[in-house]
Structure 1
Amino acid sequence: MSYKKRGVQPISDIANGLMDPMLARRAGISTALLGSWDEIAGAEFADCTRPERIVWPRRGEPGQEDGYRPGQLVIACEGARALFLTHAQDELIDRINSFFGYPAIRQVRIVQKPVSQTHRLRRTMCPLPKAEARRLETMMEGIESDALRAAITRLGNAVLQPGQRSRTK
């Protein structure tokens, strides 16, 4: 009797595989959207908003003849910040659609309610060893955009953390 040797798989991949179908069925969203929400919403709204669900148009509704219509994203927002989010919703829709890579959202509906901070817990990262920090810096030479540089720095810090296994080895 032979057993297939399984490779090591991150627990987050397993959990996302289990959660995504349930989230898609219940709320029409994925763990990828939830996990990237802080970057999509930006610093101004990341701490006071949370995507709740996407309401997709039903089949057979008027205007549905061509097959696809974008959905409506319901966002929970705390208190008076909802007014500011209302004014910034066109930019937020553009960011969300850029995240999906197609026009997935046509409208945002804002619901005022407390936003739980429990999902905001992030893994604290240790400073990179000097050699790894220098390596990351040399990789980013020539990148002029400050926003892109900051995003790559965050990604590089997460990937190059001590104890992280490289998938390319």
Structure 2
Amino acid sequence: MKEPRRGAKQLAELANGIVDPVLARRAGISTALLGSWNEIVGDSFADCTRPEKIAWPRLRDIGEDGGHRPGVLTIACEGGRALFLSHAQGELIGRINSFFGYPAVVQIRIVQKPVLPLSNRRKLKPLDAVKSRRLEAMVEDIESDKLKDAIRRLGRGVLGAKR
């Protein structure tokens, strides 16, 4: 792999720098939580849940000591699986807090709604040969196979979009 140019930043750094403040302000969550969600909840809930927001206590509710108070995480869950998720709340809170490295969440609020699994997302049409070669040239120096596949999917979506 080529050495990055001085002053060059990785795409993930730039994207997280833009998206994280918006997510933090609107939903109280970060792209790190979203990106690690499947590992945090495990195979039994990865396909039927997604974090929606964390409601942090207001400053006036914190009190005089000014210390950190954990928030309430809202999770969207497919209807039939919500009961099983409610029984696993204690373990899930522990996993989430382990991910953050401090007691970030004290309670989980479950909202029953459809959660679109990856398999049901719209299928992308194959790119023509010229666009396909162009995309492969863009990702050839990326070492991580997972990142390379994610950039390919993004590229197919962008290059294959009708204009």
Specify the TM-score bucket, using the shorter chain as the normaliser. 0.5 to 0.7
Tell me the secondary structure at the aligned position of residue 60 of structure 2: coil
What residue ranges of structure 1 are gaps of 5+ in the alignment? Answer: 122-157, 165-169
State the distance in 1 between where 2:120 and 2:97 align: 23
Cα distance in 1 between the residues matched to 2:44 and 2:31: 22
Deviations 1:61-93 (A, max 9, x none): 2x5332221000000000110000000000000
Residue of structure 2 in register with 1:131 after alignment = none
SS at match of 2:103: coil
CA positional deviation for 1:7: 4.3
The number of aligned residues is 123
Report the Cα offset of residue 10 of structure 1.
Answer: 2.5
List aligned pairs for 1:35-50, cutoff 5 A: 35-50=35-50
CA distance in 1, matches of 2:37, 2:143: 20
- Structure 2 CA distance for aligned equivalents of residues 16 and 55 of structure 1: 21
Report percent identity of matched pairs.
Answer: 64
Cα distance between partner residues in 2 of 1:72 and 1:26: 14
Code of the aligned partner of 1:69: R
Counterpart residue number, 1:16: 16
RMSD, aligned CA: 2.7
Query: Which residue is 1:155 aligned to?
Result: none
- Secondary structure of the structure 1 residue equivalent to 2:102: coil
Q: Which residue of 1 aligns with 2:105?
A: 105
Relative to structure 1, the CA distance from residue 7 to residue 101 in structure 2 (aligned partners, 3 Å threshold; closer, same or farther) is same
Segments of structure 2 that go 5 or more residues without pairing to the other structure are 122-141, 149-163
Shift in Å, 1:117:
2.5
Aligned to 2:64: 65
> What one-letter code is carried by the residue in structure 2 that aligns with 1:52?
E
CA separation of 1:8/1:120 partners in 2, compared to 1, >3 Å: closer, same or farther? farther
Could you say which structure has the higher helix fraction?
A: 2
**In structure 2, do the counterparts of structure 1 residues 43 and 118 end up closer, same or farther at CA, with 3 Å as the change threshold?**
closer
Superposed counterparts of 1:49-60, under 5 Å: 49-60=49-60
1:12 CA drift (Å): 1.9
